[in-house]
Amino acid sequence: MQLYHHPYSMDSQKVRIALEEEGVDYTSFHANPLTGKNMDTFFFRINISGKLPVFQNGAHRICDTIDIIQYIHRIALLSSRLDHQEDTSDEVIELMWKIQKWDPRLFTLSHVPTKYRNFVAKFLRRVAIARMADAPDLASAYHTKLREAYETEDRLRNEREVTQNEEQLTCLLDEMENILNQTEYLSGQEFGMADYVFVPVLARIALLNLEEVYIANREKVAEYWKAVQKRPSYKVVIGKYFRGWRKYQTLFKTVCFLIIRSAFRKY
Ligand SMILES: N[C@@H](CCC(=O)N[C@@H](CS)C(=O)NCC(=O)O)C(=O)O
């Protein structure tokens, strides 16, 4: 089984937490979306949208995060020797979709200083144009990528849309607070699929130094956040890259890559 992913990608984090928690072995391939590696032609031929993550088992390829997590869970159930294991409830599946519906892109980008955001956006547009010349048969897919990039910039300029996106996050966190008032985890008494999808949302908030605004004021979510950071899956998938000073080290490598490539116009 192969997973194409990157530590920066929130959806990749969700899938990797699932793989770690369910104990499913896989071969890992990185494609950094900030340096445009997800736009390499080899990856576009795997997933024409250039989006991460992609999970492949033999000829079976899955590009949707929730579908991948459910698939991993099924594999784990099938290979498990415990025959009393129950399948996941409809409420948990519904909850996963609810969490997944919140789009972190606007939220993340709106908290990055405009100067840096524009620098990365310009670099990525140039990568798309360069790859288009490398693989003319994929030109329309690269055009779609460029259009998406311009649309995202327009959406970021639309204050109402940015505020609405933040309000959606607030509602989602309130809802999770209510659930955590009744059970230890979102998936029930055990850490499960809804938790795999939610933990990276909290990690993104923390990465942007917004814990005080969104987490600390929700008692149960704050307790939950403290507890999940102790889990080995969190440490392997997120903590290793983003805990404390490590986030600067992780970002530093990407920044160096972008500066050098931009200086030499090597996209
Ligand atoms: N349909 C995909 C969307 C995944 C997605 O949006 N991935 C983001 C990273 S979390 C991505 O690849 N962004 C890079 C890009 O769009 O170029 C899913 O649900 O898994």
Q: Which of 10, 35, 52 has most ligand 1 atoms within 8 Å of its beta carbon, as the pocket-test mutant?
A: 52
Which of ligand 1's atoms lies nearest the C-alpha of 124?
17
The bridge status of strand 27-30 relative to strand 54-57 is unpaired
How confident is the model over 97-147, as pLDDT tens digits? 999 999 999 999 999 999 999 999 999 999 999 999 999 999 999 999 999
Q: What is the pTM of this model?
A: 0.95
The whole-number pLDDT of residue 102 equals 98
- Asked whether 38 lines ligand 1 (CB < 6 A), one says yes
Give 63 Cα–ligand 1 centroid separation in angstroms: 9
Using the atom order of ligand 1, give the atom closest to the CA of residue 100.
19
Q: Return the best residue to mutate from 4, 5, 11 for the ligand 1 pocket (most ligand atoms within 8 A of CB).
A: 11
Q: Is it the case that residue 84 has pLDDT exceeding 70? A: no
pLDDT digits (tens, 9 = 90+) for 147-189: 999 999 999 999 999 999 999 999 999 999 999 999 999 999 9
CA of 189 to the centre of ligand 1 (A): 30
Q: Which helix (H) or strand (E) holds 3?
A: strand 2-5
Residue 64: count of CB within 10 angstroms of its CB: 15
Give the bridge partners for 28, in sequence order: 3
- Coil/strand/helix, residue 2: strand
